[in-house]
A and B are shown apart, each in its own frame.
Chain A
Amino acid sequence: MGKLFSKENCEVFSNPLNLNNPIAVQVLGICSALAVTSQLEPAIVMGLSVTVITAFSNVIISLIRKTIPNRIRIIVQLVVVAALVTIVSQVLKAFAYDVSVQLSVYVGLIITNCILMGRLEAFAMMNGPWESFLDGIGNGLGYALILVIVGFVRELLGFGTLLGFTIVPQFCYDNGYMNNGMMTMPAMSLIIVGCVIWAHRSINKEEK
């Protein structure tokens, strides 16, 4: 057990949460960060789905990494990810129909997520299954963290709600406060992601 949670492995897991965050530092997965963050709930759902799929596709690729022919490795990775996502969505459709209806919009976004391909190519191709699993969970959660921050800001300012519950009290509206319609536009999520990256870099300047 000691080896499973060694210092290196802990770093594999915790680095993507902060110092090597897939969105804030590697600037991967921006397309989906833009698409699903206009409210908090889809941001959380998407973050968790990507975490699970990244972890398991990392494990599978890591297990077969020594057999994959170098020239078609990207295709092999894509086939594995697409098969995994399709099977998961089929199983959900049969056993947890409500969840699958919720996720149906995200399936395409998960398969084409750059973080998945990035982690498979950069990590799972060179590391063992357990490390790859940790790396997948870490990167997925790092991605989810930024999505939740952006979703929080956009839903609060754009709709005056959080997770569908009204947060901004009625008397603010009566006194002239207005929801910012700009926040519901995809362009604003890029600007917020930019602000997050800015804040993240100035906090971590010294450590670099």
Chain B
Amino acid sequence: MKINTNGNVYTFVYATVLVVIVAFLLAFVSSALKPMQDANVARDTKNQILTSLNITGLKGDAIDKKYDEVITEELQEKGGKVFVATVDGATKYVLPVKGRGLWGGLWGYISINEDKQTVFGTYFDHESETAGLGARIKERWFQEQFNGKPIFTDNPQQVALTVVKKGASKTETEIDGVTGATLTSNGVASMVTDGLQQYIEFLNK
């Protein structure tokens, strides 16, 4: 007997069965892989924090080991979490920041020197910025531009560090943005300035 694949009943049953199968499949894959994914995400976060401290190129277990060695304390400050790190005997603070890019969320880690006046290193990442343009904020050449830059100009209550259009930076606290990615660069600018501003009490302590 040939089934009529155009009938209403068949169509309804087919759609229902298909959706149930796919839903079970997705739920199964998702819950079976969750622990491994969470471990990967946790390790990646550690790697991002280490990258902001200019420690790069680690893989696998070496990341966990180095992280435990470098990060000595986690402080709960007004404005958010602060990681205290010891790199080559010197104390550094890592401040997590969050922002909005063109298409989705941005986040980053800014590590500062013990005097809380200059940047030691940065790490930025994004959810879904345009590949080859906005996504380049993830590249080291962009992040390394911040190294050694002062956070304040003359007013210690107002964070001055920001990102401007490429080639337009005039002062020490203005960092070149990414060509062709003005909106993502603006997102990074407000993430850095406003993000650090939230830690203002900690920075002046």
Contacts and interface: CB of A to CB of B under 8 A. Distances in A.
A42 B135 CA distance: 10
Interface centre among B14, B30, B36, B132 (most CB of A within 10 A): B132
B29 interface: yes
B169 interface: no
Interface in A59-109: 66-72, 75-76, 79-80, 83, 86-87, 90-91, 93-95, 97, 101, 104-106, 108
A101 B44 contact: yes
Given A94-B37, A181-B180, A83 B25 contact: yes
B171 interface: no
A9 interface: no
A69 B5 contact: yes
B97 to A, nearest CB: 19
B131 A97 contact: no
Contact of A69 (B14, B29, B133): B14
A69 B6 contact: yes
B72 interface: no
B128 interface: yes
Interface of A: 35-39, 41-42, 46, 66-72, 75-76, 79-80, 83, 86-87, 90-91, 93-95, 97, 101, 104-106, 108, 155, 158, 181, 184-185
23 contacts: A38-B130, A38-B180, A42-B131, A67-B5, A68-B5, A69-B5, A69-B11, A70-B6, A71-B6, A72-B11, A72-B14, A76-B15, A76-B18, A79-B22, A83-B22, A87-B26, A94-B36, A97-B41, A105-B128, A105-B135, A184-B133, A184-B180, A185-B180
Nearest to B36: A94
Interface string B36-74: 110011011000000000000000000000000000000
